[in-house]
Structure 1
Amino acid sequence: MIIVPEAVIADLITPEASFDAVEKVFASMAAKSASNFPVIREAIGHADALYGFKSGFDRAALNLGLKSGGYWPGNAEKGLTNHQSTVFLFDADTGRCRAVVGGNLLTALRTAAAAAVSVAHLARPDARVLGIVGAGHQAAFQLRAVAAQRDFARVVAWNRSPAKLDRLAAVAAELGLPFESVSLDDLGAQADVIVTITSSFDAILRADQVRPGTHLACMGTDTRGKQEIEAALLARARVFTDEVAQSISIGEAQHAVAGGSLRADEITELGAVINGRHGGRTSAEEITLFDGTGVGLQDLAVAAAVVDLAVERGVAIDVDF
């Protein structure tokens, strides 16, 4: 069995490789050659933590396994990231455990890659202003990955505590992009692409704050009850997702579907756009929205890529198991 520790992963996989892995997974899902299994995600009654499992099998890539982990909101005070996870890969032919891979950085990279894939396939080609809602650990990954998909001229951002936007401003500076902290009204009025990446349980962005032609990547809602945007915004938009079943149960679409303003059959898998079975954006005025719930197959794909790189570069730990 191969072990790839968290500490070596940053030197192995790039945002570009993560993008490729996630894009291929979405295509396999839409082609029905890959399936996610039901998600388990529960409050454990200790440390205010959410813990669960995401798993699946990609028959094309033969990636079989699961990610175990969750969200510990007090971890920042302990010098740890709030999201903690580990990926387990199994041999599809025998069921033996093939690899154990640190999942913290991979989760950040695959989440950012999913948003980036949605922007690559759905945002207007002339998008120039990138808006970010949220300033947590994941926000910097989102900015780096999404900024590479269009010729953005500047970044506008909002966070409940504006002082926490300093890290995003530093990333924008690294990318050579002017950065401004703005109100939600101003963000919606200026941004051509908006990424929401919060852990909110109350809608932050209203439907009337988003202008025609915007693409939204809603990446924070992955649990029943969470909500980043007003349900009325999904009713205005053409909605895409990684997986419809998750979108309507634990994703951003859960509220619009429950309220009757959106039907499950009106939501399209992003993989169908990648495969050419769906045309994606239909006009420059259309609002497109990607509900990124985070599927287990994404984790397996980036973990498998890391295992291959670790073996190739001689940094994998091989143990008898």
Structure 2
Amino acid sequence: MSANPATTDRTQASLLLLDTHQVTALLQPEDVLRAVHEAFTLHSQRAGRVFPVVREALPTGGVFGIKSGDVSAQGLLGFKAAGFWPANRARGGEPHQATVLLIDPATGRPLCVLDGNAITTERTGAAGALGLQHLARAESTRLCLFGTGVQARVQLRFALQVLPALTQVRYLTHDGQPRPDFEAELRGCCDIAHATDANAAVAASDVVITATPGCGALFDAAAVQPGTHINAVGTDTRGKRELPEGLLERAHVFVDDAAQSRSIGEVQWAAPDLPCTELGDVLTGQAPVQRGAQDITVFDMTGLALQDLTVARMLRTQALAQGLGTAIAWPW
């Protein structure tokens, strides 16, 4: 007598694990750009949903969050549990920590667990690149970067890729000290130098990228010159900010998700009626950008759950095709 197929499937079910080394080996910038573009498109078309974000401070000094969503027509469901633990630096570890879980929407069973650190870094860099491609002036040559951490580096790497006219980078650090190792990584790619006067560096730049922990305004609003584009990366929690008061009111503001940006992004500091355009609507043509040479544009990046899910699905598909990862029995 043959076994019941449903029973056999349940007892032979497995869970795929992809650790940081396997995820990093599979991540390719062009693949990530395509997956993140798809996430923005799905969000714009409301084919994919993003659920309310959990973002809470912990007694340990860390911040814990959950971003989740689904694309029902594609059988895509999952979440990323992530946060920021600054004390990890003293342990020699990365403060940002993330884990992604893909779930079968038909049964609720877990399909794949992925280390989310590299996913978060690359998908955020790709989102920033899409913002630069569609919002910054193509002829931009000078960039001001706040931060030299993991996210600042990936934002700069993608910026140099998608804005080929960029030749000059000035960067600022929280302690006002240069980072020779950071400069060495970029030497040969651009004219890079440390700056200590934030307002002067911003005023002299076509593009500004802020990728810091978001502990306060980094420069004065008056320093931002007409024609500047800003990618604001670091504000992703209530109470955080990187941009100064009064700047958003002078700018055309773009966001990844309007409700999320008003809750945990830079837009939390603006008036409730501040006009915002979702980048996905720009990518799908629903909100064409008519950028004037003197316009100031801001992309407030809080991170979409759909970005994590489309990238994670891409990685799982590649891992299964290449026989990578660890499959463990997960019967039910």
Same fold (TM over 0.5): yes
Q: Find the counterpart in structure 1 of residue 70 from structure 2.
A: 57
Task: Determine if the alignment matches structure 1 residue 19 to structure 2 residue 33.
Answer: yes
State, as a whole percentage, how many aligned pairs show the same letter: 36
2: CA distance, partners of 1:122 / 1:135: 23
2:44 corresponds to which residue? 30
Q: Partner residue of 1:122?
A: 135
Q: Is the 8 A contact 2:22 2:325 kept in 1?
A: no
Equivalent AA in structure 1 for residue 285 of structure 2: G
User: Per the alignment, do residues 234 and 4 of structure 1 end up closer, same or farther by CA in structure 2, a change over 3 Å counting?
Assistant: same
- Secondary structure, counterpart of 1:87 in structure 2: strand
Instruction: Answer yes or no: is the 8 Å Cα contact 1:144–1:171 preserved in 2.
Output: no
Quick one: which amino acid aligns to residue 291 of structure 1?
A: D
How far is the alpha carbon of 1:281 from its aligned partner?
Answer: 4.2
Structure-2 separation of matches of 1:117 and 1:142? 11
Distance in 1 (CA, whole Å) between partners of 2:182 and 2:248 is: 27
**Runs of 5+ in structure 1 lacking a partner?**
none
Partner of 1:196: 210
Radius of gyration: which is bigger? 2
**Structure 2 counterpart of 1:249:** 263
> Could you say which residue in structure 2 is the equivalent of 1:289?
298
Q: 1:184 aligns with which of 198, 204, 208?
A: 198
Distance 1:70 1:185 in 2: 30
8 Å contact 2:132–2:159 — kept in the other structure? yes
Q: Are the equivalent residues in 2 in contact too, given 1:19–1:114 (CA < 8 A)?
A: yes
Contact 1:12-1:306 at 8 Å conserved across structures: yes
Whole-Å separation in 1 of the counterparts to 2:146 and 2:162: 18
Match of 1:134 in 2: 147
Q: Give, in whole Å, the separation in 2 of the partners of 1:205 and 1:26.
A: 30
1:320 pairs with one of 317, 325, 329: 329
Deviation at 1:29, TM superposition (A): 0.5
SS in 2 for 1:148: helix
Deviation at 1:103, TM superposition (A): 0.4
Q: Which residue of 1 aligns with 2:246?
A: 232
1:267 aligns with 2:280: no
Aligned partner of 2:273: which letter?
R
User: TM-score normalized by structure 1?
Assistant: 0.94
Task: Tell me the equivalent position of 1:145.
Answer: 158
User: Any stretches of 5+ residues in structure 2 without a counterpart?
Assistant: 1-14
Task: Give secondary structure in 2 for the equivalent of 1:220.
Answer: coil
- CA pair 148-69 structure 1, distance change in 2 beyond 3 A: same
Alignment check: 8 A CA contact 2:199 2:220 kept: no
Q: Per-residue CA shift, 1:230-273, capped at 9, x if unaligned? A: 1311101000000001110100110113xxxx625x10100000
Letter in 2 for 1:273: V
**What amino acid is aligned across from residue 267 of structure 1 in structure 2?**
C
Conservation of the 8 A alpha-carbon contact between 1:129 and 1:153: yes
1:71-103 CA distances to partner (integer Å, 9 max, x unpaired)? 110111212100111000011233221110000
Preserved contact between residue 19 and residue 114 of structure 2 (Cα < 8 Å): yes
Q: In angstroms, what is the RMSD of aligned CA positions?
A: 1.5
Measured against aligned partners, the alpha-carbon deviations of 1:82-134 in whole angstroms (never above 9, x if no partner) come to 01110000112332211100001111111111111100111111111122111
Structure 2: distance between partners of 1:196 and 1:294: 14
Structure-2 separation of matches of 1:317 and 1:73: 30
Indicate the residue corresponding to 1:300 in structure 2: 309
1:53-92 superposed matches below 5 A: 53-92=66-105
Instruction: Output the CA distance in 2 between the equivalents of 1:2 and 1:55.
Output: 19
1:3 aligns with 2:13: no
Residues 59/165 of structure 1: CA separation in 2 closer, same or farther (3 Å cut): farther
Q: Which residue of 2 aligns with 1:206?
A: 220
Q: 2:103–2:110: 8 Å Cα contact kept in structure 1?
A: yes
Q: Distance in 2 between matches of 1:299 and 1:186?
A: 36
Runs of 4+ in structure 1 off by over 6 angstroms are: none
